[in-house]
Amino acid sequence: MSRKDELFLLSIFMATADPETIPEELVEKEAYSVWAIPPDEVVTRLKKLMEGLRAEFGGPQFEPHATVVKAISLTPEDALNKFRSACEGLKAFNATIDRLATGTCLYLLIHPTTELAEACSHCSGHFGYKRSTPYMPHLSILYADLTENEMKKAEERANILDDSLSGLSFPITRLALYKTDPEDKTLKSWEKIAECSLQPK
């Protein structure tokens, strides 16, 4: 049987089979991430800053967030189940912005508190995510292919657009599960799949 015939038969099987009887290895996996979502008023403030930076330096549009679990390859059902499981019993926690910083992107460094590290470790455990480097919580505000000099200018511009973000504290009461294809540099395929509210502190 040719590869074409195999794919044709597989497509018929996938279209007619009960989803629960399809072997897991045949279900297409995608990249999923868990994000910590700031309160609405902080999101609004950050979006204004991000729009100002994009207008000058380009780059794709994305929602303000702090990544808790980086992109991991899972089936849609598995990702949702792991997310719901991770949210159970997890309490809200505080985040405080330390300062602006640059690297592969322009971001706001978040103070690495114990409760933040514990929330990250809790979620990573549920997703089976093994971190290769220490957790560095941050809020990205500009993804753009810039030279080091251009990134420095973007940092200076960010300080002009909003110079009072350092020291800003806010509660994280929501986590979201996002589909985040790392190959998509436009980020247009990035999509929110689910959101959960955390238990009050």
pLDDT value at position 180? 95
Structure tokens at 128: 């089976």
Residue with the larger pLDDT of the pair 177 and 134: 177
Whether pLDDT at 81 is above 60:
yes
Q: Looking at residues 156-180, what average pLDDT do you find?
A: 95
CA 128 to CA 153: how far, in whole Å?
39
Q: Is the pTM of this model over 0.85?
A: no
**In this predicted model, what pLDDT tens digit does every residue of 13-46 receive, in sequence order?**
444 444 455 555 556 889 999 999 999 999 999 9
Q: Supply the Cα-derived Rg of the chain in whole angstroms.
A: 20
Q: Write down the pLDDT at residue 16.
A: 45
For 29, phi then psi, to 5°, come to: -95, 150
Region 126-130 average pLDDT? 89
**What pLDDT band is residue 200 in, cutting at 50, 70 and 90?**
confident
Question: How many Cβ atoms from other residues are within 10 Å of residue 86's Cβ?
Answer: 22
As a whole-number percent, the residues of the chain with pLDDT over 70 amount to 87
What's the pLDDT score for residue 131?
78
Q: Which of 111, 122, 126, 138 is catalytic?
A: 138
Q: How do the domains of the chain map onto residue ranges? A: 29-197
65 is catalytic: yes
> What is the separation, in whole angstroms, between the first and last Cα of the chain?
60
Mean pLDDT, the chain, as a whole number? 87
Q: Tell me whether residue 126 is one of the annotated catalytic residues.
A: no
Look at residue 10 and tell me whether its pLDDT is greater than 50. Answer: no
What is the rounded distance in angstroms from the CA atom of residue 6 to the CA atom of residue 1?
7
The CATH architecture of the domain made up of 29-197 is Alpha-Beta Complex (3.90)
